[in-house]
């Protein structure tokens, strides 16, 4: 959500900032802007796409080797040129870009207005700019890096909320200052140049060395070095990390969209999730990152999985997996609800926070709430340097590689894959035999090739999508392990095609859902050849009796669906508990191809952001 990139060095800043903003487009935004310092501050910003900003700069060029830039996703104030970032302080000499929310901005704004301040926008960020400016002007001494740092420090002590900021001042031309609390900010270390960014994907083309700032860190940098302290004035330890992916990894390659590229990357991303974690000798999974002994794992009496959106749907699959394989009571909580509930949990409850980015605000808050209550809280995430990864008591890294498309695809299957490994590990500790463990491992190792066979049906699925592109609403239905897949399929459809889509358990059809069935509302049934296959067929026949079109996801070799459904997409045979790893692939392709047919912006769907870092 929102994007920041700052640059200080010897090169022209504007091209670097624009390139970085383009790499952050996937995060979601509605306006963009930059400020360049070259003797004076030059500001360029406008609503709409980054292309609009590039056109503006082409007409009104800016020069300078230090600058900050931003893509905004509106929170306080509408989508206007004035509300776009950067924002200036009262003097016009200080510029700031900001991700997050200043919760007490109105109180601060009223105080500043009473002192004679005038505001050009409706944003909370402009209030923070004015506040830093006041602190800077009030500090004695010459203009210096330390004076700007102290001004930022003093202002941040007055605000309530979250922030990832980059600040520069006309009187301190050789310095950028950044700070974070609750919103990610990364320092990129180059050769004769340094960077600030909300995501390393913005700077990976220039450097692979990064420092992931912690909450309450303040960093001051020039083109040669940097210094990190805390909001409270103390020193802050840091670690220079090597970014694990390259510039090629965050490009579309030969694919028209990131989403399609990432759908087709799933055989490799799933193999990466399993690689090195299946022990033939012990017939089990090896997850050393859990930081728990076999005895501690055996003492677990209850598991709580928490996440948002697609991660929550993966957790729902995990609930079925863990109870099926390990016989441990498991439940799923929306992270946004977890933090506000007073849910009774005994001392032997293990909590997993699931997040692709590792920065999801609600999931991070749920993790902290769980730890506050004394529960061991582990993470499943895709960013080893993320806040959730750092603050958890252990966990499992997904190894999915960067996911740029806003609609999550490979992260879902990687999360489900990791939860399957967890189910195997706990099942072997409790009751699964050696032979059962070996069989599960063999089935897991076969999954990537089975996904490849499904991907070969992309053109066929495209023809089905085009057939139903008239639909204004769609139903997704499944039972047992397929119910969370129905939820995820519906989410993908609504996210990128804007078609109203609902996911339900098939058995709930007669409990209200059937009222929506009509010739204009196609139903997608996830109906593999499992223990409830015949029940699903009965539900399909009920929809057909009411003239509802049906698309079915079935198992190769089973022809019964062809007699009752209008269109059938087949997946290879597999055990019931592994079917979500296969059945979700056709649903991802169906939503993708339908959205393309409708002319939707697949990688940047309206109103959405990749990583929700504010509540």
Task: State how far the Cα of 453 lies from the Cα of 417, in Å rounded to an integer.
Answer: 18
Task: State how far the Cα of 599 lies from the Cα of 228, in Å rounded to an integer.
Answer: 46
Are residues 585 and 453 in contact, defined by beta-carbon separation less than 8 angstroms? Answer: no
Task: State how far the Cα of 353 lies from the Cα of 341, in Å rounded to an integer.
Answer: 16
Whether the link from the prior residue into 86 is cis, omega within 30° of 0, is yes
Angle at 396 between CA 393 and CA 401, to 5 degrees: 130
Task: State how far the Cα of 209 lies from the Cα of 324, in Å rounded to an integer.
Answer: 43
Are residues 600 and 497 in contact, defined by beta-carbon separation less than 8 angstroms? Answer: yes
Angle at 490 between CA 413 and CA 383, to 5 degrees: 35
Q: SS3 string of 269-315?
A: HHHHHHCCCEECCCCEECCHHHCCCHHHHHCCCEEEEEECCHHHHHH
Catalytic residue numbers?
2, 610
Task: State how far the Cα of 407 lies from the Cα of 396, in Å rounded to an integer.
Answer: 22
Residue with tokens 């006041």: 134
Are residues 17 and 203 in contact, defined by beta-carbon separation less than 8 angstroms? Answer: no
Phi and psi, residue 263, nearest 5°: -60, -45
Task: State how far the Cα of 515 lies from the Cα of 91, in Å rounded to an integer.
Answer: 61
Task: State how far the Cα of 235 lies from the Cα of 212, in Å rounded to an integer.
Answer: 15
The string over 478-489, giving b where at least 16 C-beta atoms fall within 10 Å of a residue's C-beta and e elsewhere, is: bbbbbbbbbbbb
If one counts every other C-beta atom within 10 angstroms of the C-beta of residue 225, the result is 9
Let me know if 431 is exposed, middle or buried by CB neighbors in 10 A (0-12, 13-18, 19+): exposed
Task: State how far the Cα of 148 lies from the Cα of 179, in Å rounded to an integer.
Answer: 12
With both helix axes pointing from N to C terminus, report the angle between 482-497 and 579-597 in degrees, rounded to the nearest 10.
20
- CA atoms within a 13 Å half-sphere pointing along the CA-CB vector of 281: 3
For residue 365, the SS3 value is helix
Task: State how far the Cα of 466 lies from the Cα of 418, in Å rounded to an integer.
Answer: 34
| Paired residues of 304 in beta bridges | 331, 351
C-beta pairs of 452-459 under 8 Å, 24+ apart in sequence:
452/267, 453/572, 454/571, 454/572, 454/582, 454/585, 454/586, 455/263, 455/264, 455/266, 455/267, 455/585, 455/589, 457/569, 457/570, 457/586, 457/589, 458/589, 458/593
Report CA-CA distances (Å) from 479 to 75, 227, 525, 567, 578: 38, 55, 9, 19, 14
């Amino acid at each position: 959500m929102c994007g920041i990139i700052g640059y200080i060095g010897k090169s022209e800043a504007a091209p670097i900032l624009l390139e970085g903003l383009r790499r952050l487009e996937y995060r979601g935004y509605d306006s963009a802007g930059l400020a360049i310092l070259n003797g004076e501050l030059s500001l360029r910003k406008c609503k709409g796409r980054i292309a609009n900003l590039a056109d503006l700069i082409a007409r009104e060029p800016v020069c300078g080797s230090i600058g900050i830039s931003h893509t905004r996703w509106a929170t306080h104030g509408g989508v206007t040129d004035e509300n776009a970032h950067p924002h200036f302080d009262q003097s016009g000499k200080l510029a700031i870009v900001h991700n997050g929310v200043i919760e007490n901005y109105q109180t601060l704004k009223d105080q500043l207005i009473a002192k004679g301040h005038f505001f050009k926008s409706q944003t909370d960020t402009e209030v923070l700019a004015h506040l830093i400016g006041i602190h800077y002007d009030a500090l004695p001494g010459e203009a210096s890096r330390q004076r700007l740092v102290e001004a930022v420090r003093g202002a941040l002590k007055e605000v309530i909320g979250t922030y990832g900021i980059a600040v520069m001042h006309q009187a301190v031309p050789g310095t950028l200052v950044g700070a974070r609390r609750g919103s990610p900010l990364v320092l990129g270390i180059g050769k004769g140049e340094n960077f600030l960014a909300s995501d390393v994907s913005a700077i990976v083309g220039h450097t692979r060395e990064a420092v992931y700032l912690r909450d309450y860190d303040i960093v001051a940098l020039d083109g040669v070095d940097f210094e990190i302290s805390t909001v409270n004035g103390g020193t802050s330890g840091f670690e220079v990390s090597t970014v694990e992916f390259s510039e090629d990894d965050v490009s579309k390659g030969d694919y028209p969209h990131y989403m399609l590229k990432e759908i087709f990357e799933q055989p490799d991303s799933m193999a990466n999730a399993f690689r090195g974690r299946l022990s033939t000798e012990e017939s089990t999974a090896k997850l050393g990152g859990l930081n728990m002994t076999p005895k501690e794992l055996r003492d677990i009496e209850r598991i709580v999985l928490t996440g948002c959106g697609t991660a929550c749907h993966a957790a729902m699959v995990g609930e079925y997996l863990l109870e099926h394989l390990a016989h441990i009571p498991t439940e799923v909580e929306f992270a946004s609800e977890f933090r506000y509930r007073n849910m009774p949990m005994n001392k032997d409850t293990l909590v997993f926070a699931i997040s692709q980015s590792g920065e999801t605000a609600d999931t991070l808050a749920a993790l902290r709430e769980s730890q506050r209550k004394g529960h061991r809280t582990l993470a499943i995430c895709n960013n080893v340097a993320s806040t959730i990864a750092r603050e958890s008591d252990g966990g499992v890294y997904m190894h999915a590689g960067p996911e740029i498309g806003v609609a999550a695809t490979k992260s879902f299957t990687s999360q489900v894959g990791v939860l399957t490994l967890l189910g195997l590990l706990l099942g072997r500790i409790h009751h699964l035999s050696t032979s059962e463990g070996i069989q599960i491992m063999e089935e897991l190792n076969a999954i990537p090739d089975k996904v490849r066979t499904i991907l070969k049906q992309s053109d066929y699925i495209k023809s089905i999508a085009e057939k139903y592109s008239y639909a204004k609403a769609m139903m997704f239905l499944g039972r047992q392990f397929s119910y969370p897949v129905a939820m995820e399929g519906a989410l993908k459809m609504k996210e990128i095609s804007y078609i109203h889509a609902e996911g339900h358990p098939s058995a709930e059809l007669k409990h209200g859902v059937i009222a929506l069935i009509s010739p204009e509302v196609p139903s997608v049934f996830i109906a593999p050849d499992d223990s409830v296959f015949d029940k699903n067929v009965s539900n399909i026949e009920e929809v057909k009796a009411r003239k509802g079109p049906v698309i079915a996801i079935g198992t190769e070799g089973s022809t019964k669906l062809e007699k009752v459904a209008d269109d059938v997409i087949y997946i290879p045979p597999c055990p019931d508990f592994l079917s979500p790893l296969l059945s979700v692939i056709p649903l991802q392709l169906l939503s993708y191809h339908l959205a393309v047919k409708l002319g939707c912006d697949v990688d940047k769907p309206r109103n959405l952001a990749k990583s929700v870092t504010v509540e």
